[in-house]
């Protein structure tokens, strides 16, 4: 049984990683990937990256930067699509 993905509100963030517009017009969404599927893949990828960083005993800031770089690849209409570049977790 999979855990539900927490909902994210950006109203309190001064400098969010991605705007709501960028998330709603990602390459994956334009290629027909559902919001739930994309959110799930992004969440699992971040979780896997975090766990790998902990096992490698990397500093938290390095792990966070890796998650940001991975996430930015899939954000916005010019970003990668899960149809072309699936996240294998």
Taking the C-alpha atoms of residue 69 and residue 2, their distance in angstroms, rounded to an integer, is 25
Model-wide pTM > 0.85: no
Over residues 11-38, the mean pLDDT reads 74
- Per the structure, the complete domain to which residue 56 belongs is given by 36-78
Q: Is the pLDDT assigned to residue 7 strictly greater than 70?
A: no
pLDDT classification of 56: cutoffs 50, 70, 90: very high
Q: What interhelical angle do 35-55 and 60-73 show, nearest 10?
A: 150
Is 58 part of a structural domain of the chain? yes
Number of domains in the chain: 1
Does the residue 61 lie in any domain? yes
């Amino acid at each position: 049984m999979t855990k539900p993905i927490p909902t994210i509100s950006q109203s309190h963030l001064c400098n969010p990683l991605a705007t709501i517009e960028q998330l709603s017009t990602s390459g994956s969404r334009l290629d027909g990937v559902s919001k739930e599927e994309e959110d799930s893949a992004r969440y699992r990828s971040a979780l896997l990256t975090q766990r790998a960083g902990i096992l490698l005993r990397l500093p938290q800031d390095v792990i966070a930067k890796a998650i940001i770089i991975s996430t930015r690849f899939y954000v916005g209409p010019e970003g990668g699509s899960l149809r072309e570049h699936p996240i294998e977790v």
